[in-house]
Amino acid sequence: MKNIFYTLFVSLFVLSCTTIENKSENQQGVIEKNDAKSMVMDAFNKAYLDNDMTGQDEIFSENAVARVNGQEMSPAEMIEAFMGGREFYNDIKNINPSTSTFIYDDGAIYTSTWFTWEGISKSTGVTVNNPVHAYFRWEGDKVSRVAYIFDSAEYVANME
């Protein structure tokens, strides 16, 4: 009798410690927040807000490709363009940022961020708000592809 209770107890203990993965057939990976890669992307965006991108080019692989609204360039050219835009705007903010890393079952890793870019035009005084989506495609600990997507019409119109 004692052995039956002992066996039952051990069996229940083992079964209760076993994690059953409830994964739908459509699930293709996991999403993480506040992970190391998300923090790298947040630091990149903070460096832009701080008007000091020193060292940020080191997160990119040697042959990394950047795309801003579909226009292909190097990450260095992207950084230069972003910093050049600051000549036309004051009080730049990224409102309500949300950053997560997507780790797919096939091994692909992307970190994505969403925020509303806001700045006050130096020439018109207009406050411009733009929803922004961006992603980093990781190869190991380096970014091999980066893209920033936003509607630039109002941003460009208030530069003059």
Asked if residue 17 belongs to a domain, the reply is no
Domain of 43, in residue numbers = 29-157
Model confidence at 72, pLDDT cuts 50, 70, 90, reads very high
Number of domains in the chain: 1
User: Which among 80, 56, 27 is positioned nearest to 136, based on CA atoms?
Assistant: 56
Asked if residue 6 belongs to a domain, the reply is no
Report which residue type is found at 69.
Answer: N
Asked if residue 15 belongs to a domain, the reply is no
Length of the chain: 160
User: Which among 158, 71, 80 is positioned nearest to 122, based on CA atoms?
Assistant: 158
Asked if residue 10 belongs to a domain, the reply is no
Whose structure tokens read 């009080």? 91
The CATH number for 47's domain is: 3.10.450.50
Asked if residue 24 belongs to a domain, the reply is no
Which contacts (CB < 8 Å, 24+ apart) does range 56-62 have?
Answer: 59/136, 59/142, 59/143, 60/142, 60/143, 60/144, 60/146, 61/139, 61/142, 61/143, 61/144
Q: How far apart are CA 131 and CA 160, in angstroms?
A: 21
Asked if residue 16 belongs to a domain, the reply is no
Q: What share of the chain in percent tops pLDDT 90?
A: 80
Q: How far apart are CA 102 and CA 123, in angstroms?
A: 40
Stretch 103-128: mean pLDDT: 97
pTM flag (> 0.85): no
Asked if residue 21 belongs to a domain, the reply is no
| Residue 113 confidence (pLDDT) above 80 | yes
Model confidence at 7, pLDDT cuts 50, 70, 90, reads low
The confidence score (pLDDT) of residue 74 equals 98
Asked if residue 23 belongs to a domain, the reply is no
- Residue 146 belongs to what H/E stretch? strand 142-149
